[in-house]
Each structure stands twice: as C-alpha cells, then as structure tokens.
Structure 1
Amino acid sequence: MISATGVDESSPHYPGWRVVLACFLMAFFMFGFGLYGQGVYLAELQRAHGWPGTLVSAASTFSFLLTSILVVFTDDLLASIGLRALILCGLSALGASTVLLGLMQSPWQLYLAYALMSVGWTGMGTVVIATVLNAWFERRRGLALSLAFNGATCGGIVLVPLLLALSESVGFRCAMLAATIAMVALVLPVVVVFIRWPAAASLQSAGRLSGSAVVPRGHSRRALLANAAFWTMVLPIAIALLAQMGFIIHQVTFLEPLIGRSSAGLAVTIMAAMAVVGRLSLGLFVDRLDPRLACAASMTSQAAALLVLLQSESPTVLLVCCAVYGFSIGNMITFPPLIIQREIGSTAFAAAMGLGTSISGIVSAFGPGIIGLVRSLTGNYTTAFALCVALDLVAASVVLWRPGRSAKVVAP
C-alpha cells in the first residue's frame, strides 16, 4: 500500500481511529464470547443439563476447526458481499449463537450454536479486523492493530467475570440474553456508522486503494503457498501459538499444587493484564521496528519465562514469570499482519491473513492435547513445558529467516 502522504494518522480527528474503536468492540465480544467464554459454557451447561464435559469440549474443538476452514474464504466474502455486510452477518451469527446457548435443551443445538459462532469468527475475527485496519493505516498501523486487538484480552478480563456474576444472580439463560443485547446495542451502531473502507475523496490523492478495490478478487492461494516469505511467517507463528495455547490451558493445573488455587487464579489475571500492557507497549514502537525481529524477541522472552518457571518454586518468581510470559501473548496475532503487509503486499493481504490464520488455528488447536499427552506420559509438566521452550526457540529461529526479497503476491 502506498504511503499516505498528506494524511495525518496521528490526529485524533483522523476517521481511522473511529474504525479502531469499532474493531476494539468487535474483538471484545468475539473473543469474550467465542474464546474466553467457553469455559463458562462448559461449567454452566454441565450444571444445567448434566451433559458430560467431553460433549461440550468436542463442540469447542468442532467450532475452532470449522473457524479455521471458514476464514480461508474471508477475502472472497469481502469481495462478494462487502465489508460491512460481512461484519453484520458475523454479528448476527454470534448473537444467534449466544442466545441459543442460553436457551438450548438438546445436544444437537450445542453444535448448531458453535457452528454459528464459527460464522461469527469469520465476520468479526482477526482476519477482518486486520484487513480493514491495514487499509486505513500506514504509518500507525502497528498501534492501530495493538489497540484494536486489546479488545480481545479485555473481553476475557471483563466479559467472563460478568457472565459468571450474572449467572449466579439471575441464571445462565438471562445472563446470556442480557449480554447478547448489550453486544448488539454497542457493536451495531459503531459498525453501521464507522466501518467502511477509506473514502476515495479523502485518500485518492494519497494513492490508497478505496472501495471494493481494497480487496480485489482472484488471489491465488496456490501462489501464497509457494511463497517462502509466507511460510517463514506462518510456520513460526503456528508453532509459537501451539506452545502458547498448551501453556495457557495447563497453567492453573501446573501452578495450583505449587502456590494454591487462589494464587494460581491471580497468575492468570496477571498474565492477562500484562497481555494488555504488552500490546499497548508494542503498539507505541512497533511501526519503527523490524516486525520479524520483534516477533523473534517475543518468542524468546516466552521461552525464557517458561525456563525460569520450571526452575523455581518461589511464588513471587512464578508470578513474575507469568507476567513476563503474558507480556508477549497478545502480540502473536499482531505480528502476522505487519509482516504480510511488508513482504507479501496489500493486494493479497486478506487472502494471506485468511490462509495464515487457518493454518495457525489448526496447528495451535493441538497444543493443549500435546502438552496434556506429554504430561500424562512423564507424570509431570517438566518435559511438557520444556517442549514449549524448544518450540518457542525453533519458532524464533525460523521467523528470522528471510528467504531473499520475496515477490509480492498478485492476482493471476
């Protein structure tokens, strides 16, 4: 994308910042309901219906895998039905999913709800957010992405405790209905008013793409799969996310025998809070950094935190390690759009984001299972988390590999 000469992205009056607000709210509810809220659904549906945990967990796996398939086609959907229509479809699907979760009576309805949630991810998830912000920002792209994706972490910090409190006071059904109404009331107006591609009238002189030209049809996914720069970004991110998902899911189980249940819960809170701090800190400087080098540093810091975690039983040290680890958690979804924009190009951005997110999602979905399997075979978490350390270091090495000056991917 051509630099936006004459457009002051730092100005609070720049309309792109209103798009960031809309994306923040989308991420807040999409990740709050679609990722962090799944632990609430597991507990409440078991309590309400007596369904086995394996049934609900299998539905979660089904949803994540279906999402990984659907996001591949994000660029086609953007080109065929448009940006705002896709987001509104995603909002409608997510709202239908959360309402159904509150009203369901049969297991088949659970899978329907989780399938609708996958449609929500396609319309309101990482790929759409990154694509629209990539179109609006050039010089402040990293900050815009960091601010928007902080909505994901805030969704976990705010929405999950809120759902738990409401479920205890008014019941799970009313809690889900109330939260859904709040989501529609907050997200629908900002999407309708603020979400659009950069207007030709204000940005044409800057050489930016506008209207439907932002997401042209016909990108070759085969060309992306043959692009070395694409793979040296996707593979290390997928490997790092596999290790990250494995640690996050098993964190409380590992820490509880060492520091107690309440302190283990505190460690999760600290880690989530540091993810917000990490995104904001990175956002202030990332536009002046080499994204591959910054990505490798983040992966290395996570490996170092896990290594120290395995060597200590001090509650203070363990909490500090969780804080250091959390500092880089959120940035793993910020780096891919920055690398794609620099090395693959704007015309294939949505296609590359969709395909890369799909690959990373499928690979990282195995993280909790692999760590759990290694823990079961060895009887402790030492070898399992040591594997995470090794995976992070391998990922950091691969992401630093620059396979020459890769050609931009263009439509065939």
Structure 2
Amino acid sequence: MIAATRVDESSLHYRGWRVVLACFLMAFFMFGFGLYGQGVYLAELQRAHGWPGTLVSAASTFSFLLTAVLVIFTDDLLARIGLRSLILCGLSALGASTVLLALLQTPWQLYLAYALMSVGWTGMGTVVIATVLNSWFERRRGLALSLAYNGATCGGIVLVPLLLSLSGSIGFRSAMLAATLAMVVLVLPVVVIFTGWRTEMPPTSGGNSSTGGTALPSVHSRKTLLANAAFWTMVLPIAVALLAQMGFIIHQVTFLEPLIGRASAGLAVTVMAAMAVVGRLSLGLFVDRLDPRLACAASMTSQAAALFVLLQSTNPTVLLVCCAVYGFSIGNMITFPPLIIQREIGASAFAAAMGLGTSISGIVSAFGPGIVGLVRSVTGDYTSAFAMCVVLDVVAASVVLWRPGRRTKLAAS
C-alpha cells in the first residue's frame, strides 16, 4: 500500500496535483491528435491529395491495432528506460507524427505517421497516465484519474475545432505545425519538471525509491495475469461495454439526423461530450469512497437504460436527455480499470495489468462500429443494433460484479 499517510493528498500544495496537470496535458494532446483529430486528417488529406477515404481509414485502423499490441509491453519499457524517458519518447513520436502528417506526399508516409502515433500512445496514453498517478495517490486516486483523463475529452472539444479553424485560415500544413509547436512548448517542460515516481514510497508499494523517472520493476508475467480470474472479470466486461459505446458514438449522428435534423444531431454530440466531462468530475469527487466494480456496473446499466429509452422515443428533448445520460458515463469507462486493478491485483503488477487490459479492450472495442453497422445493414434500421448494445451493457454489468475471490492480489514472482 502506498504510504499516503505521510502527505495530505487533498492539499493543493501536494506535488501530485502538478503531476495531474502534466497528465492532463498529455491526454489533451494525445487524444486530441491521436483520436479525435483523425476525422480532420481524413477530410484534409482527401482534399489535399485526392486519396480515397478507405486508404486513410485503413491507416487509422492500422494505428489502433498497432497501439493495442505496443501497450502490452508498457511495463517492460518502464523497467528498461524509466517513466520520464518513456513519456519523452512518446512526445517525440507524436510530434514527429503530426509534423509528418503536415508534410507527407505519399501513402507510405501516411502509414509511417500513423505508426509513430502508435508509439506516442504507448508513451503518453492511458496506461502510462494511470501508472504514474497510481504511484502518487491512494486516497484521492479516483479524483486524480478523473481530472487527468478529462484532458482526453477536452482535447476533442478544443483541439479539433481549433485545427479546423486554423486549416481554413492558414492551411492544414501550417495548422498542424503550429499545433505541434504548441504541444511541445506546453508539455515538454511540464513533463521534465513534474513527472517521476514518488520518492517517499517504500519499495513494497510498487513505486521506486530512486528519483526522476527510474523504472518500476516488472515482476509479474503476462501469463500469470491471464490466469487471474479477477483480471478477466474486469477486462472482459469493460471491453464489451466499450464495444457497445464505440458502436453508438460512431453511429449516433446517422441515427439521430433523420429524427431530429443535422443541427440537433450535432447538438446531441456536443451535449454528450460535455456530459462526459461532468461525469468524470462528478464521479471523481467521491469514487474513492465507492466500490469501483459496483460503480462500474451502475455506469454500464445507466448507458443501457439511456439507449433503451432512446429507442422508444422520437421526441427531440427526450433524445437529447438520453444522449446526456449516456455521455455522463462515457469517460468513466477508462477510469474504473486502474481503480479495480490497484485494489484487486496490486501495485507491483499495475503497469503489466493496465497494458494487457488496455490492449484487450482496444482490440475488442475496435469492432464496435463495424458490428453495429453490420447489424443495421442486415436489419435495415438501428433498432436491433442498439438493442444489441443494450444487452451487451446489461451482460457486462452483471459480469463485472462477479468477484472470483475476496482479494486476489498477485504475489511477486
């Protein structure tokens, strides 16, 4: 257990909150460029080079799948090069990716840019953010994660419109170069100054007693994790819930536009994104006093209920409210895994479990949009597709409540 009694985690003077700021900025640019920005790249690269949408979309799929493979080895990288070096490698790779996207001329350069983006995810994504915050917080861990992960949503809300606006005024190339420069100027000094393992922790806590970014030892094999029942009853239901969530998010506008019009459908997306921020902040205030499995099941159930009501109504107000309720839990789906892992698997296996779990969830959830689209094509409408998502959420909520043991922390090998 982290020796949190030595410091007051609720104090604004506690250094951990500056680490949260660093993680917020990392999530802001990683998700802004690496996830939400991909819609901008799709449109701009088609316009600039005349490339078919399938070529750019295939590059996105390649990037997500490569990311899912690379994050498995996060714990090995932490042990080999250390936290700060891994983050700086991720920042360098993401910066190189966005610069290459601005300057590329041939398709192979596009795939190289997206491969570099996958390296960026490995160094600046959710696994690293959760791992570093796990070493700084115990009593306020849930709040710290919620605040840091809000950077992801804010990246979509702020960075994407900014890229679109700048692309219209100074061109896509200049917009990407300017945004990349801003990222380096903002993130680099914060990472260098603030990130690192907490130095006052005892060796048994899963931290490292050395200063400034030395590595966490990787003492648990992935084979051991795969044999742990508690790991699977956390990973699989969250992966299934994320599959349903990705399917709804990607098809939301297509479903709503015939019912309430393009403008209102766009408003529904904005409301859902805004509620994701509110949901993370609200849950973060008291999630440390909750059972994370129970809270996770409640979030999945609320999404199932919102989708069920959505299918029963054509009233614009009801549909907007359903999207708001659904959005309230969107961001929390990536907040629960680190909380459950810390409580049930342990700090010393944290990075390995997060990397493997994130990889499994990423691969499974990537099929969400395709499965929803396939069911819609077969049935002719979204009723069966979203009803399937409701069932998946309910099943996931039931499975995540199953506890294979009272406390199944892995013993060091």
Q: Under a length normalisation based on structure 1, what TM-score does the superposition of the two structures give? A: 0.98
Q: Which residue of 2 aligns with 1:362?
A: 363
Give the aligned residue type for 2:236.
L
- Which aligned pairs between 1:107-256 and structure 2 lie closer than 5 A? 107-200=107-200, 203-204=201-202, 209-211=207-209, 215-256=216-257
1:403 aligns to 2:404 (yes or no): yes
C-alpha separation between the residues in 1 aligned to 2:180 and 2:149? 20
The change in CA–CA distance for 1:129 and 1:205 in structure 2 (over 3 A counts) is closer
Q: CA deviation at 1:265?
A: 0.7
Q: Which residue of 2 aligns with 1:333?
A: 334
1:50 aligns to 2:56 (yes or no): no
Q: CA deviation at 1:206?
A: 11
Q: Which is worse superposed, 402-411 or 326-335? A: 402-411
C-alpha separation between the residues in 1 aligned to 2:385 and 2:206? 48
Give the aligned residue type for 1:65.
L
Give the aligned residue type for 1:210.
N
Q: Which residue of 2 aligns with 1:344?
A: 345
Give the aligned residue type for 1:73.
F
The change in CA–CA distance for 1:173 and 1:207 in structure 2 (over 3 A counts) is closer
Q: CA deviation at 1:204?
A: 4.8
C-alpha separation between the residues in 1 aligned to 2:14 and 2:303? 36
Q: Which residue of 2 aligns with 1:290?
A: 291
Q: Is the 8 A contact 2:341 2:350 kept in 1?
A: yes
Q: Under a length normalisation based on structure 2, what TM-score does the superposition of the two structures give? A: 0.97
Percent identity between the two aligned chains: 85
Q: Which residue of 2 aligns with 1:71?
A: 71
Q: Which residue of 2 aligns with 1:381?
A: 382
Per-residue CA shift, 1:288-314, capped at 9, x if unaligned?
000000000000000000001001101
The change in CA–CA distance for 1:204 and 1:226 in structure 2 (over 3 A counts) is closer
C-alpha separation between the residues in 2 aligned to 1:60 and 1:287? 35
The change in CA–CA distance for 1:352 and 1:204 in structure 2 (over 3 A counts) is closer
1:91 aligns to 2:91 (yes or no): yes
Per-residue CA shift, 1:86-131, capped at 9, x if unaligned?
0000000000000111111101111000000000000000000000
C-alpha separation between the residues in 1 aligned to 2:203 and 2:81? 27
Q: Is the 8 A contact 1:347 1:410 kept in 2?
A: no
In structure 2, runs of 5+ residues without a counterpart are none
Q: CA deviation at 1:411?
A: 3.6
Indicate the SS of the match to 2:138: coil
RMSD: 1.4
Q: Is the 8 A contact 1:6 1:206 kept in 2?
A: no
1:323 aligns to 2:321 (yes or no): no
Give the aligned residue type for 2:173.
R
C-alpha separation between the residues in 1 aligned to 2:319 and 2:386? 14
C-alpha separation between the residues in 1 aligned to 2:253 and 2:29? 24
C-alpha separation between the residues in 1 aligned to 2:31 and 2:147? 14
C-alpha separation between the residues in 2 aligned to 1:302 and 1:59? 30
Q: Which residue of 1 aligns with 2:38?
A: 38
Q: CA deviation at 1:216?
A: 1.2
Q: Is the 8 A contact 1:348 1:410 kept in 2?
A: no
Give the aligned residue type for 2:172.
F
Q: CA deviation at 1:408?
A: 1.6
Q: Which residue of 2 aligns with 1:275?
A: 276
Q: Which residue of 2 aligns with 1:259?
A: 260
C-alpha separation between the residues in 2 aligned to 1:114 and 1:303? 34
C-alpha separation between the residues in 1 aligned to 2:31 and 2:411? 32
The change in CA–CA distance for 1:100 and 1:307 in structure 2 (over 3 A counts) is same
Q: Is the 8 A contact 1:227 1:406 kept in 2?
A: no
The change in CA–CA distance for 1:403 and 1:206 in structure 2 (over 3 A counts) is closer
C-alpha separation between the residues in 2 aligned to 1:211 and 1:327? 38
Q: CA deviation at 1:211?
A: 3.7
C-alpha separation between the residues in 1 aligned to 2:239 and 2:411? 24
Q: Is the 8 A contact 1:3 1:206 kept in 2?
A: no
Indicate the SS of the match to 1:319: helix
Q: CA deviation at 1:219?
A: 1.6
C-alpha separation between the residues in 1 aligned to 2:64 and 2:152? 16
Q: CA deviation at 1:209?
A: 3.3
C-alpha separation between the residues in 2 aligned to 1:319 and 1:31? 25
Q: Which residue of 2 aligns with 1:14?
A: 14
Q: CA deviation at 1:405?
A: 2.4
Indicate the SS of the match to 1:217: coil
Indicate the SS of the match to 2:197: coil
Where do 4+ consecutive residues of structure 1 move more than 3 Å?
203-209, 211-214
Per-residue CA shift, 1:270-326, capped at 9, x if unaligned?
000000000000000100000000000000000000001001101111011000000
Q: CA deviation at 1:25?
A: 0.1
Q: Is the 8 A contact 2:219 2:348 kept in 1?
A: no
Indicate the SS of the match to 2:5: coil
Indicate the SS of the match to 1:158: helix
